[in-house]
Amino acid sequence: MLLVCLLTMPDGRAQERGAGPFPGKVHRIVFLGNSITYAADYVELIETYFIIHYPRRRFEFINMGLPSETVSGLSEPGHAGGKFPRPDLHERLARVLALTKPDLVFVDYGMNDGIYMPFDAGRFDAFRSGMLWLHGELVKTGAMIIHLTPPVYDEKIGKSKGYDGVLEKYSEWLLQQKDSLGWRVADIHAPMKKYLDHRRSLDSTYAFSQDGVHPDLTGHVIMAGEVLRYLGEPVGETGGLMRVMGDEGGKVYGLVHERQEMMKDAWLTAAGHQRPGMKKGLPLPEAKMKAAAIDKRIRQLHR
């Protein structure tokens, strides 16, 4: 399996470089987003990195990504074949925050917010208003906030021609908030696009998405690497992030994946949402007991 070199140190053993990029009070780390976040690969890669490189810290990574969701409140006509409109984060955010009580929140919206249509000032306004509202609500909790620009949209694969230009505008606006409002914003869009363009210049058939939207593991590796680089972690350049991972890192990642697959559905079910077709998660107390057992296996594996 191809993963990231950032998961193991050069000598194959974990090393700890101090307390890490977060203040000591940061324990619960929540990820908000759509189906790309729910897919969880980049979340799991980031969690695995912290387990390996900062074994003395105890972080709880909570995936609250919900497929189809927007922060803009918009939904295109006939979404999901007319079965249901896109869920709106406004409907569930208060419950998510009350349940998870985060110390740090990663936010990744935008991909769905332009509803796969040409750029429109009204839709852009809805996205900006939604992001400003969300940031304000998170500020009230006292949690640290890190925004991520939306991932790249592959126009060669997807049906919405010109849509990546929409996401570029959304990304540019988010990045501008670093100066105008002092937001923390990590750019994953531009590095993903750069990597895609480079690989496609070598192989015109290359893609890391089968539908233009959802990146495969390679795309998630780039996302995770850019987040870690933003945090100041020495993960190298985007093009050098991938290699076959060492045995220890691979086993840790496998257990993290097992735990996250269970916990994300338990958290979503406990908080409640209006997105049909989602798997019903275990009751949260039961899921936490099972997760603790997996965590024990992780700690035994990685000492």
d(CA 88, CA 93): 9
Helix (H, G, I), strand (E, B) or coil at 163: helix
Q: Is residue 69 part of a domain?
A: yes
Q: Is residue 259 part of a domain?
A: no
Domain housing 225: 2-249
Does pTM top 0.85 for this prediction? yes
DSSP code per residue over 168-217: HHHHHHHHHHHHHT---EE--HHHHHHHHHHHHHH-TT--SBSSSSSB-H
Render pLDDT for 48-59 as a digit per residue (tens, 0 to 9). 888 888 888 889
Task: Identify the pLDDT of residue 19.
Answer: 66
Residues of the chain with pLDDT under 50: 1-2, 4, 6, 8-17, 239-246
d(CA 17, CA 40): 26
Task: Identify the pLDDT of residue 24.
Answer: 85
Domain count, the chain: 1
Q: Is residue 274 part of a domain?
A: no
Q: Is residue 263 part of a domain?
A: no
Q: Is residue 134 part of a domain?
A: yes
Task: Identify the pLDDT of residue 241.
Answer: 39
d(CA 251, CA 97): 31
Strand partners for 108: 33
Task: Identify the pLDDT of residue 240.
Answer: 39
Q: Is residue 283 part of a domain?
A: no
Task: Identify the pLDDT of residue 23.
Answer: 83
Q: Which residues contact 147 (CB under 8 A, 6 or more apart)?
A: 106, 107, 108, 131, 135, 174, 177, 183, 184, 185, 186
d(CA 112, CA 213): 9
Tell me the pairing of strands 185-186 and 60-63. Answer: unpaired
Q: Which residues contact 248 (CB under 8 A, 6 or more apart)?
A: 8, 12, 14, 52, 301, 302
CATH of the domain at 21: 3.40.50.1110
Q: In the structure encoding, which two tokens stand for residue 156, read together? A: 């060669």
Q: Is residue 131 part of a domain?
A: yes
Task: Identify the pLDDT of residue 235.
Answer: 78
Task: Identify the pLDDT of residue 21.
Answer: 86
Among 122, 125, 128, smallest CA distance to 109 is for: 128
Q: Is residue 273 part of a domain?
A: no
For residue 295, the tally of other CB atoms under 10 A from its CB is: 17
For residue 266, the tally of other CB atoms under 10 A from its CB is: 21
Task: Identify the pLDDT of residue 245.
Answer: 42
Beta strands in the chain (DSSP E): 2-4, 28-33, 60-63, 104-108, 144-148, 185-186, 242-244
